[in-house]
Chain A
Amino acid sequence: MTEAMVKAEAVHKRFGRLEVLKGINLEVQSGEVMCLLGPSGSGKSTFLRCINHLEKINSGRLSVDGELVGYREAGDKLHELRESEVARKRAEIGMVFQHFNLFPHMTALENVTLAPTRVSGLSRKDARRRASDQLAKVGLSDKLDSYPVALSGGQQQRVAIARALAMRPKLMLFDEPTSALDPELVGDVLDVMRQLASDGMTMIVVTHEMGFAREVADTVVFMDQGVVVESGEPTQVISAPREQRTKEFLSKVL
């Protein structure tokens, strides 16, 4: 058995006095799609942000592809990585945000070519080719020169996905990618994610889309108040939850 893509052991995270993650243990295998469910404030977004070191964990161990996130281990001591090393690791992990966070002063194409040229050092021509391929895959070949303000929410989120994919990540993190969208635009974004999953991408998705979780996820994790309450196959967790808290949550959202 190969090492897990993401491995969390007793991960704790505090904001001041507030303990948001109270010992998270979970593993995501390469090629697996994991959906994180749970009420708001349950810590699922925070956990996602810890994985690419946008948040620092306070204790526990968190590793991606066999390497600790944000630290280097020497003997039994942990050394914090330098900013450039953290940045290099982040480049291998794609992240999609609830509010898209496209760069408004750049066209769709410029949004997607930026990191490949500036971070990976691709030539302008290669980056352009890679970017237009990615934008074609998400169905936006005709929007290359549009500024984000001229795109619908669904289109913006698909550009954001293309932007992350253009870095050829080994892991994709989705932080409520459809929560800010009008209902009729959700489908297009989920289609893109479904396609990505079937291409074998390792994905961790924080979502409230039960249909998507049931259909696409290999594992569903239900979190509440900073702990993993229950995890397993979607049919089990969503259709036949064992825990009372999971049942209560699902009865509200389904």
Chain B
Amino acid sequence: MIILIIVASVVRAIVVNPNFQWGVVGQYLFDPRITNGVVKTIELTVIAMVVGILLGVLLAVMRLSPNPLVSGFSWLYIWFFRGTPLLVQLLFWGFAGALFSKVNLGVPFGGPVLISASTNALITPFVAAILGLGLNEGAYMAEVVRAGMISVDEGQGEAAQSLGMSRLQTLRLIVIPQAMRVIIPPTGNETISMLKNTSLVIVLGSVFELLFATQQIYAANYKTIPLLIVASIWYLAMTSVLYVGQYFIERRYGRGFSRAQQATMRSRWLSFGNAGSGVG
């Protein structure tokens, strides 16, 4: 009851306070510059997460390799990318052109160059953003994936091997599908973090994601607070959608782990149909 009263009075104070300029919020909520920013933010999030997840799986598998050179490389990568701030990494990628003016593809250590390109043409601000976000995410996802893989009972791998399955088959068909149960919740977490971390890309300039678009507008009209509210509303809306997605993915990989879900193929399909109609 007390909590309710406190919440109600805080909400009232915010709604009534003219400084929030709710009218301006409504005016800009669907401004094309804002909605384009939303699209760009989603684009950055999706691409960077895909890069991060693929890299994470690769690094996790490498980290668990019996070869010390392979697992050592993975350790070093994770150590470096987790140990430096994301903002600094983004700035480095932004200034890549100043560090290396040309990117050459060819035989290393003075051999012939096959392809050469100017770094600035290759690493546009958008590419720099993807590299910064994706490579950093890879380090975090590697630990998430590794945690999932070591959560799977060793006997599972032994059973698969005793049936004549290769290490790769065992990984793909037995270990990873079971690890998914453990991997998905923190990956949802990572995706939500990523969605918000895309706003750091603002330091690269000229990547018109949601926060940069917002800043461009309030830099011109000085309606800072209402526009930041607009951005917040969109970030909240997008993370809410992610919650729903995570729920369904978790259910998919929970198969065979809870007695409530067990049952025969038929009742599985029936319950799947029900869930489908519920969403539709």
> Footprint of B on A, CB under 8 Å?
52, 54, 83-84, 87-95, 97, 99, 101-107, 114-115, 118-120, 145-150, 160, 163-164, 167
B156 touches A101 (CB 8 A): yes
- Interface mask (B156-200 → A, CB under 8 Å = 1, otherwise 0): 101111111111010001100110000000000000000000000
Q: A105-B256, A149-B258, A150-B259 are in contact. Are A115 and B156 (CB under 8 A)?
A: no
B156 touches A114 (CB 8 A): no
B31 contacts partner chain A, Cβ-Cβ < 8 Å: no
Shortest B259–chain A CB gap in Å is: 6
A54 touches B262 (CB 8 A): no
Shortest B232–chain A CB gap in Å is: 40
A52's contact among B162, B169, B174, by CB below 8 Å, is which?
Answer: B162
B155's contact among A101, A146, A148, A164, by CB below 8 Å, is which?
Answer: A101
**A90 nearest CB neighbor, chain B only:** B164
A104 touches B163 (CB 8 A): no
A97 touches B161 (CB 8 A): no
Residues of B within 8 A of A95 (CB): 159, 162
Shortest A99–chain B CB gap in Å is: 6
**B263 nearest CB neighbor, chain A only:** A150
B255 contacts partner chain A, Cβ-Cβ < 8 Å: yes
Shortest B161–chain A CB gap in Å is: 6
A91 touches B166 (CB 8 A): no
Distance between Cα atoms of A146 and B161 in the complex (Å)? 23
Residues of B within 8 A of A93 (CB): 162
Main secondary structure of the interface of B (DSSP, over half): helix
Distance between Cα atoms of A54 and B163 in the complex (Å)? 11
Can you give 26 contacting A-B residue pairs, CB < 8 Å?
A52-B162, A54-B162, A83-B166, A89-B164, A90-B163, A91-B163, A93-B162, A99-B155, A101-B153, A101-B159, A104-B178, A104-B256, A104-B257, A105-B256, A115-B163, A115-B164, A118-B169, A118-B173, A119-B165, A145-B264, A148-B256, A149-B256, A150-B263, A164-B162, A167-B163, A167-B164
Number of interface residues of B (CB under 8 A): 29
Residues of A within 8 A of B255 (CB): 105, 147
Distance between Cα atoms of A163 and B174 in the complex (Å)? 15
B165 touches A97 (CB 8 A): no
Residues of B within 8 A of A83 (CB): 166-167
Residues of A within 8 A of B159 (CB): 95, 97, 101-103, 160
Residues of A within 8 A of B263 (CB): 146, 150
B1 contacts partner chain A, Cβ-Cβ < 8 Å: no
**B180 nearest CB neighbor, chain A only:** A105
A54's contact among B156, B161, B165, by CB below 8 Å, is which?
Answer: B161
B265 contacts partner chain A, Cβ-Cβ < 8 Å: yes
Rank and list the top 4 A-B pairs by shortest CB-CB distance, nearest first.
A91-B164, A101-B159, A115-B163, A150-B262
Q: A101-B155, A104-B256, A147-B255 are in contact. Are A90 and B177 (CB under 8 A)?
A: no
Shortest B156–chain A CB gap in Å is: 6
Residues of A within 8 A of B153 (CB): 101
A149 touches B257 (CB 8 A): yes
For B153, B166, B258, B266, the residue with the greatest tally of chain A CB atoms inside 10 Å of its CB is B166
Residues of A within 8 A of B177 (CB): 105
Distance between Cα atoms of A150 and B153 in the complex (Å)? 19
A164 touches B163 (CB 8 A): yes
Shortest B41–chain A CB gap in Å is: 34
Shortest B222–chain A CB gap in Å is: 56
Shortest B136–chain A CB gap in Å is: 31
Known A119-B163, A167-B164; further 19 A-B contacts with Cβ < 8 A: A54-B161, A83-B166, A87-B164, A94-B162, A97-B158, A99-B155, A101-B155, A103-B178, A104-B257, A105-B178, A105-B253, A105-B256, A107-B256, A118-B169, A119-B164, A119-B165, A147-B262, A148-B256, A150-B263
Shortest A4–chain B CB gap in Å is: 21
B256's contact among A91, A94, A119, A147, by CB below 8 Å, is which?
Answer: A147
Shortest A51–chain B CB gap in Å is: 10
Distance between Cα atoms of A53 and B85 in the complex (Å)? 46
Residues of B within 8 A of A160 (CB): 159
Residues of A within 8 A of B166 (CB): 83-84, 87
Shortest A172–chain B CB gap in Å is: 11
Residues of B within 8 A of A146 (CB): 262-264
